[in-house]
Structure 1
């Protein structure tokens, strides 16, 4: 006899509902299936009560991750209501299924509610489809619902239409914090830190206190442009909040990406609980700030404490190996990661290996590795090798690699620029000029080197040779003073880093006004005692500017931090955290 009958349980829907909820709570899939079988055997047809239980079973299957069984039950149901459809839409495995269920629901004359539309909107990754769903939600009078508005704001930002996201927010007074958080989060993800912080101020003035979600979004905004001081203010608000793990991970990430490892380590070491994201963030942060061997020590600690690394963790570890010149250790990790950790190397791990080999000058090995990869190499992997060809001045291989990139993407301006620089670095001026002509024909423009620095809550931008800054004359005088000072200590401009066929005097003049030098000079003019000069740069720092920053840090006794697109350089006392290997 069935266990439910033998236990003497009454055959009423409340008892069954309680049992189904208990199965969900205890993750008891086998027992949940037995209840389903018992109900099927008991019959009951399409009564409202049986529809109620079928919906509970649908919810159970979806919450336990049993999607195929949920779908089978859904198809077998004689009656379906808004809860049935909404449950299946929320558990859909993609945009197509979610939208097809919505269409089917409307054709069955079942009216979607706010939960239905908010669930569908979360799947919309295409702007056209998002607007298609937006229209019937408005017609249904649900545009003021907090769930729908929040999902619309999220959706428009996710689809790259921030203006529409702002418009949805501005259509009516916002009286729910969820919608505020959606817009603040959307602005932060779009990289508009100033707007997200300004909106936070509006939210506070409207009488809303900061939630964990708000603070997490603000920290991401600060991370995006290394707004350290603002991030510290958010940290102050977070200290009054809970010990939420997601919030602490966001704080950890912010300090790592702002180059403040001391504060990052303090947070990491005092966290009440950690997850794989905490460990991965700390490993990547140490590696990106030049403490690659410390990153590997943390990786060992992670394993000793019983945490299993994920694929992102291993990207960070391979990055550390690459930037610490640990070729063999990185190679061994890559070859054993599937056996040891159950993680099959993905494209990102292959890219790290190409960078590892190329950075070490093993260009032929890197090329061989690419040719033997399990997956098709993309332009990012090829450009990693092309950059290594430029650094190690192998113009011949650079040309072959550039051809592969342009085969995949004929308009990839990075390939043209790196190839041109590789030819120039090898004094093959004719070939460099030919590449520049091809760039001109295709209207490919080179991104200018740009550096920026935050002083007095204002961000100051510098471009090489640009004199548009209001204090440009004073900055140039300070820069010349610094060059004279370190010149007396042995600094000689490294003209090999000028990729133009001009006389040495002109090369020295061009080097003098590189954007990072201008930013460093300006930063030193406005520095506060005990605080480092922090400079951001959109391109890789050149060798001459690297030498300049090292020698200036020693001459003036000031810590200088330069962040490029890949890593941080911490210049202290004439040394750099990268160990001159970048």
Structure 2
């Protein structure tokens, strides 16, 4: 309801309009009509006064309208007063009042009214029970809603589709799948499993309870393919990481001409984003608009992470402009998502501009901006913003300190990181979690204090997880500490036996020390376990289109031109004395073959594509799914200088901004 309709002036004009167009005493048929369209309590009370003055307040039709109006406007006290004055209290009035108190979450008052109703000699009916169940469910009292359905059934009332649907929603919220299965059994026996609302509620319940197979089974049994079942299916499958199945069914709904709404499209976009299918999310968002479905304030923050993850800056800017035109920028979630998008697309200053312009900020907004600075290695700005956050009395949370500790580790601010770690606990009462210990291990390890990092792990109050040991292993890679790396790797092999990345990292460490026996041993173990190294993949946006480049893949239509450009660069690098860092190749092969392996790393392919597809001097932004290797890091420094380009590469750890032969990380990464 808009603010204008709530304004006193609007209410007064509505009342004047009513008073001018009805005779006195007011007509008992016109008063209920006016009450039905009444937008606010003050006007309802004015109409109530008019009814009382004219003697119509006791008219059953008028009294019933007053009762329902007060309940609709969230004034149960006024409704109760009207009800208590009604000379004849029907089952309809009792049911309405019970439903009203239930919808406010006042289960005690609702049950009390049910007892009073029976004491007055009026038995509740199915509508009474439905109002009780549905009201309690809508008010967040899911357990009481389910209990009400059980009591209804125990007292001999057969729940209908409405009551069952509401109760199933409550079952999903409390995640009691065994109760849901009992309700499902009743549905089958009662013959209402083909009801569209019941089928949708069953899909929703099984989705919330993590039973993806049952979701599909219910859908196959149902004869309905409407927008409600589509939305429930997508949401349920998404919750259970069944994104491929969700996409397939969504396509089926679309091809059969089901009139999908903004909720349907937003759900499938969110499903893709949450499950790492960013390119599909981008395509679906564009298709949504081509179908004439306008995004809303929920769609935008759902799709922006997809643009961020594949560096689709132009798409992100378009979403920003759309949000501006639609007036969405006052929404704190839209603003926070824009801050995150710009930061992840390499435009940290644009992120700060959006952040500063936000009319209101919550902790998510502050975390997005501090995390953005951390991602770009801008420690001074991150710490300054963190202090401003505290000065403005915005309480930091777990994520805030993860960002702050992370940026201290990246910038080598060891003592500052120690101080914030202590401050988090003593000043803010936040007990460190695994991610905070991982940041501290990285902080100490990157500073060369590997033994101290190992001691911290041994002193942890709980068993270290894979994130902790992974942080230590990463630091061992930087300093070539083989004995400690083997300790960390063994722990990781126990915790994550199927994570090929851990084996690759240990193999990297052996390779950097030319310990080829160790490399071969790790490779054999990977082969025996059927593990394969994750392929390097990079994304670059050129002329509003996102290109995907895979290491060693020749499928890109411009691969011949890309290869020619890389060969030209290799000749120039060699002529100017640049030698590839073959220490970063994991196999004991001839030097020339090592050079060839390095030449096809995905970030080099992406940069080469950018160089041949854009005008001289145009900045290039690349996103990579793995950490950038040392050879590529050196190559990017050379290319930025030789080609006169600014090159930004975002790997799994941070942004590297290359310009004039230097990197923003200062080679501390």
**TM-score when scaled to structure 2?**
0.74
**Matched residue SS, 2:560:** coil
Distance 2:426 2:103 in 1: 34
Say if 1:24 and 1:60, in contact at 8 Å, map to a contact too: yes
Say if 2:247 and 2:268, in contact at 8 Å, map to a contact too: no
Distance 1:4 1:154 in 2: 39
Whose Rg is larger?
Answer: 2
Aligned in 2, Cα 1:508/1:126: closer, same or farther, shift over 3 Å? Answer: same
Say if 2:136 and 2:142, in contact at 8 Å, map to a contact too: yes
Distance 1:393 1:386 in 2: 10
Distance 1:476 1:428 in 2: 30
**Matched residue SS, 2:295:** coil
Partner of residue 360, structure 2: 273
**Matched residue SS, 1:368:** helix
Partner of residue 475, structure 1: 565
Partner of residue 258, structure 2: 174
Partner of residue 321, structure 2: 236
Distance 2:418 2:117 in 1: 61
Pairwise mapping of residues 140-289 of structure 1 onto structure 2 (< 5 A)? 141=223, 143-157=224-238, 158-160=241-243, 161-170=245-254, 172-177=256-261, 178-243=263-328, 244-289=331-376
Partner of residue 624, structure 2: 537
Residue by residue over 1:496-554, the C-alpha shift from the partner in whole angstroms, topping out at 9 and shown as x without a partner, is 44444467676566555544344334423333356411122232112233233234434
Say if 1:89 and 1:101, in contact at 8 Å, map to a contact too: no
Distance 1:120 1:350 in 2: 42
Aligned with 1:39 (options 113, 119, 134): 113
- Mean CA deviation greater in 203-212 or 494-503: 494-503
- Per the TM alignment, residue 492 of structure 1 is displaced from its structure 2 partner at its CA by 5.3
Distance 2:79 2:269 in 1: 54
Distance 2:164 2:357 in 1: 45
Distance 1:192 1:98 in 2: 34
Aligned in 2, Cα 1:181/1:467: closer, same or farther, shift over 3 Å? Answer: closer
- Per the TM alignment, residue 323 of structure 1 is displaced from its structure 2 partner at its CA by 1.6
- Per the TM alignment, residue 319 of structure 1 is displaced from its structure 2 partner at its CA by 1.9
Distance 1:33 1:451 in 2: 55
Pairwise mapping of residues 55-134 of structure 1 onto structure 2 (< 5 A)? 55-59=130-134, 61-63=136-138, 65-77=140-152, 78=155, 79=157, 80-91=159-170, 92-94=173-175, 96=177, 99-100=180-181, 102-103=183-184, 105-106=186-187, 109=190, 111=192, 113-123=195-205, 124=207, 125-134=210-219
Does 2:474 align with 1:387? yes
Count of residues in correspondence between the two structures: 568
Can you give the 5+ residue segments of structure 2 that lack an aligned partner in the other structure? Answer: 1-76
Aligned in 2, Cα 1:156/1:164: closer, same or farther, shift over 3 Å? Answer: farther
Say if 1:416 and 1:439, in contact at 8 Å, map to a contact too: yes
Does 2:540 align with 1:463? no
**Matched residue SS, 1:376:** coil
- Per the TM alignment, residue 163 of structure 1 is displaced from its structure 2 partner at its CA by 4.7
Residue by residue over 1:121-150, the C-alpha shift from the partner in whole angstroms, topping out at 9 and shown as x without a partner, is 3352343121122234x1xx4x23321111
Aligned in 2, Cα 1:68/1:371: closer, same or farther, shift over 3 Å? Answer: farther
Partner of residue 614, structure 2: 527
- Per the TM alignment, residue 569 of structure 1 is displaced from its structure 2 partner at its CA by 0.8
**Matched residue SS, 1:453:** strand
Partner of residue 313, structure 1: 400
Can you give the 5+ residue segments of structure 1 that lack an aligned partner in the other structure? Answer: none
- Mean CA deviation greater in 415-424 or 235-244: 235-244
- Per the TM alignment, residue 60 of structure 1 is displaced from its structure 2 partner at its CA by 5.2
RMSD of aligned C-alpha atoms? 3.6
- Per the TM alignment, residue 173 of structure 1 is displaced from its structure 2 partner at its CA by 0.7
Say if 1:98 and 1:120, in contact at 8 Å, map to a contact too: no
Say if 2:311 and 2:539, in contact at 8 Å, map to a contact too: no
Say if 1:226 and 1:257, in contact at 8 Å, map to a contact too: yes
